[in-house]
């Protein structure tokens, strides 16, 4: 009997496998979760920041009304004490919002029951609140951060953050780059294998321990060198230097990887033309590794901007607009930690403000990180 | 180029070599200073004033440390008020307390040691005579003692506002709890995401977005995760994270600032690190293994489960442990979500309020009194010890399970 052809019965089509499909979907959801985290960050920071800018904050003026007023009264008499108010201000008495039209000595002419509130009777002694709207312009240009006093300028916090990061990168970039050049161009493989792990211990120490180090070692050291009167107990210099030490391994490791990626043939060509070791390292290898080193520097700045515990412990509590590195100044991260360290109630001014500052911090670090990735792609020297 | 020029160039080269070496040395000096600074705060002379000297409490000439439990209870009863004794009995019956616990109570309530002055290790070693003189002059009633701030009492005792009896027990337990929850959440999700990206994901827009997103998430400052945790876990999901939804806590007093919220926040923080590390480990598995498996008719999941993961597991574990050591030192996000209060009792479960070791170090360092800096130094040693153990485990794991492929 001739063999029967069986190929008619064997289907080569892909079989639907339910189990495989379920597993793949589950794995995909896990991968997608990271997108949810990002979305969550952007949504929450954005939402609460909008509340910060969009909602009128009520400041206590300590200014009482002198006589009882009925719902129909538009002229109210106020006491002489408390914060002076201006025409056009929005006021609040208990639940009712009023618009201040004119001031005639101690008599305020007001429009009653604005912003969907109902005019009501108020007893003498009730205290006026003044409405303040934080504006984006004031947020970015104001030089005082005192939200409870109606001043919303983020510049003092931003300035302190930039100062600390600037000092940190001034410490970390030269040291890290020189270390990288030494390890990659001069050190024997054996020396490199011993020295690199030692430096990497620095990267593994928790940041709060660095904060302890800044406060109990670096600050006393600076005060001994520059004088007790010049250097305050809390200062940005100490925090900046210590953050510089903290990001040093980041700079040196990434830079060294970049230097190592430069092919040997370039070095040998330079030696062949009579260049010394230094000239080869600085004029040939360093430019060839530029993209990696620039990326390392930017990543390090981003890390310094987001660093929190060192500044929370050593840079000082209380926003101050100063360019003196020996004075106390609170950074954005330091402010968030201090504000939230107390009992923070939801929907309060402080609660909303940490989201506004956090959004700014997020945008800054994200921009730096993306910029560093761009530099790596754009300026990478590709060798065969 | 002339010969003199060549000499000049070589001289410049030597000068710069010294500069490079000095830079490297600076880094090592900084590390040494950091470690020395912690030791400097963790050991040293302390001047202690006792209300009743321990030797006066000796019964029948036998020092207090060597007494049995019943005698210790008698000593305690003789020196504290009946009301206080009854309260201790109520908190935990003396029959259930160990001799060591009763001894601690005697130290706390009867001896009442008070630290009146303390010196750093460096001062203690270099200036011994001067310290003895100062102590004898300024604190005539005090005894001078060389103290290791990291001691067994420090590890056993809960947080306290008295530096004499404060310890890190609650903080260490809190750290272990939060890390445990973080790993329970982030490890399975992270490895699954890495498997998806490495083994399944076709190169299309959504997968590229996921990959870029993970890289960028790894660079987000940790405090942002704290803010997110505050908004989502503490506030929005407070009903669940406080345990009210499960009937585990009292709705009137509990809030979302619990170990569960802290653990989930840390989990989100380490998730990108775990994914990236696991991806590297999976990438290192040679594709010949996969092809052999497919060739024998295994499905994709069978290939992953039986061949890729077993070969990548040591790398995945190492990466996870490194991510954990990052998480265990994190302070800022936990301060933001915890608004950490003063906690003296051991955490009972995921719905307890919490403090962790780094938070404890932060709070002690931030105190104005210098005696708390010594406690912070001791706590830093504990934290570094914990990290060292973790990293050693990672290295051992790596060496043990490294397969030659």
Same-domain status, B106 and B186: no
Burial class (CB in 10 A: 0-12, 13-18, 19+), A278: buried
H-helix or E-strand spanning residue A294: helix A290-306
Total structural domains in chain B? 2
Domain range summary for chain A, segments of one domain joined by +:
55-133, 152-379
Strands A96-104 and A107-114: what pairing? antiparallel
Same-domain status, B224 and B306: yes
Each of the 405 residues of chain B gets a pLDDT tens digit; together they read 455 688 899 999 999 999 999 999 999 999 999 999 999 989 988 888 887 777 777 777 777 777 778 888 888 888 888 888 888 888 778 777 777 777 777 877 777 788 888 888 888 888 888 888 888 888 887 888 888 888 888 888 888 888 888 889 889 999 999 999 999 999 999 999 999 999 998 888 988 999 999 999 999 999 999 999 999 998 888 888 887 877 777 777 777 888 999 999 999 999 999 999 999 999 999 999 999 999 998 999 999 999 999 999 888 988 898 899 889 999 999 999 875 567 777 787 888 888 899 999 998 998 888 889 999 999 999 999 999 998 888 888 777 776 544
Same-domain status, B137 and B187: no
CB pairs under 8 A between A and B: 251
Same-domain status, B317 and B363: yes
Same-domain status, B273 and B128: no
Same-domain status, B195 and B98: no
How many whole angstroms separate alpha carbon B274 and alpha carbon B305?
18
Cβ separation A355–B231 shorter than 8 A: yes
Per the domain annotation, does B192 fall within a domain? yes
Same-domain status, B110 and B187: no
Cβ separation B365–A211 shorter than 8 A: yes
β-bridge partners, B99: none
Q: In a 3-state reduction of DSSP, which class is residue A350?
A: helix
- Interface check A309 vs B, CB under 8 A: yes
Nearest to B230 by CA among B257, B255, B254, B249: B257
- Interface check A339 vs B, CB under 8 A: no
Alpha helix segments (H runs only) across A55-153: 136-141
How many whole angstroms separate alpha carbon A52 and alpha carbon A349?
7
β-bridge partners, A360: none
Interface probe, candidates B227, B377, B385, chain A, greatest A C-beta count within 10 A: B227
Same-domain status, B227 and B132: no
Same-domain status, B260 and B178: yes
Query: What is the token pair recorded at A214?
Result: 């800044």
Same-domain status, B130 and B180: no
Interface probe, candidates B332, B342, B383, B390, chain A, greatest A C-beta count within 10 A: B332
Query: What is the token pair recorded at A43?
Result: 């949504």
Domain boundaries, position B71 = 45-147
- Interface check A25 vs B, CB under 8 A: no
Cβ separation B331–A208 shorter than 8 A: yes
Domain A55-133 has CATH 2.60.120: no
Nearest to A333 by CA among A206, A236, A219, A209: A236
Same-domain status, B231 and B275: yes
Q: First CA to last CA across chain B, in angstroms? A: 54
In this structure, what are the phi and psi dihedrals at residue B332, rounded to the nearest 5 degrees?
-55, -50
Q: In a 3-state reduction of DSSP, which class is residue A88?
A: coil
Per the domain annotation, does B157 fall within a domain? no
Cβ separation A210–B34 shorter than 8 A: yes
Fold exhibited by the domain A152-379: MetI-like fold (1.10.3720)
Locus of tokens 């904050």: A57
- DSSP state at residue A154: -
Cβ separation A365–B335 shorter than 8 A: no
Per the domain annotation, does B365 fall within a domain? yes
Cβ separation A278–B221 shorter than 8 A: no
Cβ separation A48–B231 shorter than 8 A: yes
Per the domain annotation, does B222 fall within a domain? yes
CATH code for position B386:
1.10.3720.10
Query: What is the token pair recorded at A171?
Result: 């410490």
**Under a CB-based contact definition with an 8 Å cutoff, are residues A76 and A69 in contact?**
yes
Same-domain status, B105 and B184: no
Residues of A in contact with B31 (CB under 8 A): 198-199, 201-202
**CA neighbours closer than 13 Å in the CB half-sphere of residue B7:** 3
């Amino acid at each position: 009997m001739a063999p029967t052809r069986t190929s008619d019965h064997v289907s080569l089509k892909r079989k639907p496998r339910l189990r495989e499909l379920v597993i793949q979907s589950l794995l995909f959801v896990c991968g997608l979760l990271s997108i949810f985290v990002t979305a969550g960050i952007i949504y929450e920071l954005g939402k609460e920041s909008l509340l910060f800018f969009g909602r009128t904050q009520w400041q206590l003026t300590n200014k009482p009304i002198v006589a009882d007023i009925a719902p129909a009264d538009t002229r109210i008499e106020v006491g002489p004490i408390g914060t002076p108010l201006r025409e056009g201000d929005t006021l609040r008495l208990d639940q009712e919002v009023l618009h201040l039209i004119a001031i005639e000595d101690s008599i305020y002419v007001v429009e009653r029951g604005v912003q969907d509130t109902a005019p009501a009777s108020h007893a003498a002694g009730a205290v006026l609140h003044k409405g303040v709207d934080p504006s984006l312009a004031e947020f970015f240009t104001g030089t005082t951060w005192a939200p409870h006093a109606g001043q919303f300028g983020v510049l003092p916090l931003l300035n302190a953050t930039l100062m600390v990061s600037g000092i940190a990168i001034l410490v970390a970039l030269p040291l890290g780059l020189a270390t990288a050049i030494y390890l990659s161009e001069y050190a024997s493989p054996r020396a490199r294998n011993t020295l690199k792990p030692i430096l990497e211990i620095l990267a593994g120490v928790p940041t709060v321990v660095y904060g302890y180090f800044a406060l109990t070692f670096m600050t006393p050291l600076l005060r001994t060198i520059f004088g007790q009167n010049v250097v305050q107990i809390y200062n940005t210099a100490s925090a900046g230097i210590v953050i510089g030490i903290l990001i040093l391994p980041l700079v040196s490791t990434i830079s060294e990887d970049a230097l190592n990626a430069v092919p040997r043939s370039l070095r040998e060509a330079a030696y062949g033309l009579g260049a010394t070791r230094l000239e080869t390292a600085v004029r040939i290898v360093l430019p060839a590794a530029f993209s990696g080193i620039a990326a390392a520097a930017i990543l390090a700045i981003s890390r310094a901007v987001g660093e929190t515990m060192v500044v929370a412990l050593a840079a000082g509590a209380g926003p101050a607009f100063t360019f003196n590195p020996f004075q106390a100044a609170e950074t954005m991260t330091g402010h968030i930690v201090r504000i939230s360290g107390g009992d923070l109630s939801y929907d309060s001014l402080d609660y909303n403000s940490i989201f506004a500052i956090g959004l700014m911090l997020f945008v800054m670090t994200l921009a730096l990180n993306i910029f560093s990735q761009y530099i790596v792609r754009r300026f990478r020297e590709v060798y065969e | 180029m002339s010969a003199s020029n060549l000499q000049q160039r070589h001289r410049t080269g030597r000068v710069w070599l010294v500069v490079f070496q000095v830079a490297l040395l600076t880094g090592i000096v900084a590390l040494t200073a950091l470690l020395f600074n912690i030791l400097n705060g963790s050991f040293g002379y302390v001047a202690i004033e006792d209300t009743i000297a321990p030797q006066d409490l000796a019964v029948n000439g036998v020092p207090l440390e060597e007494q049995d439990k019943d005698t210790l209870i008698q000593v305690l009863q003789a020196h504290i008020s009946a009301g206080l004794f009854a309260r201790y009995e109520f908190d935990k019956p003396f029959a259930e307390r160990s001799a060591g616990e009763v001894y601690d109570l005697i130290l706390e309530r009867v001896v009442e040691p008070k630290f009146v002055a303390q010196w750093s290790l460096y001062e203690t070693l270099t200036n011994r005579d001067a310290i003895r003189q100062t102590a004898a002059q300024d604190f005539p009633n005090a005894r001078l003692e060389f103290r290791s701030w990291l001691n067994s009492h420090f590890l056993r005792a809960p947080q306290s506002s008295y530096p004499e009896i404060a310890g890190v027990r609650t903080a260490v337990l809190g750290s272990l709890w939060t890390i445990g929850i973080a790993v329970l959440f982030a490890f399975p999700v992270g490895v699954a995401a890495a498997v998806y990206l490495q083994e399944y994901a076709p190169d299309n827009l959504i997968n590229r977005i996921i990959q870029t997103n993970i890289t960028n998430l790894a660079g987000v400052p940790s405090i942002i995760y704290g803010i997110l945790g505050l908004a989502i876990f503490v506030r929005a999901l407070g009903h669940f994270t406080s345990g009210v939804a499960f009937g585990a806590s009292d709705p009137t007093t509990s809030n979302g600032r619990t170990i569960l919220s802290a653990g989930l926040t840390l989990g989100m923080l380490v998730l990108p690190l775990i994914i990236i590390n696991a991806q590297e480990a999976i990438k290192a598995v040679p594709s010949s293994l996969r092809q052999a498996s497919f060739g024998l008719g295994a499905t994709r999941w069978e290939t992953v489960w039986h061949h890729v993961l077993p070969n990548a597991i040591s790398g995945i574990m190492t990466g996870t442990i490194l991510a954990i050591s990052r998480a265990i030192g994190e302070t800022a996000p936990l301060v933001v979500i915890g608004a950490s209060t003063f906690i003296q009792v051991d955490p009972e479960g995921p719905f307890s309020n919490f403090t962790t070791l780094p938070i404890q170090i932060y709070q002690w360092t931030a105190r104005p009194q210098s005696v708390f800096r010594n406690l912070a130094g001791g706590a830093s040693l504990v934290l570094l010890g914990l990290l060292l153990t973790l990293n050693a485990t990672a290295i051992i794991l790596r060496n043990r399970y490294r397969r030659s492929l």
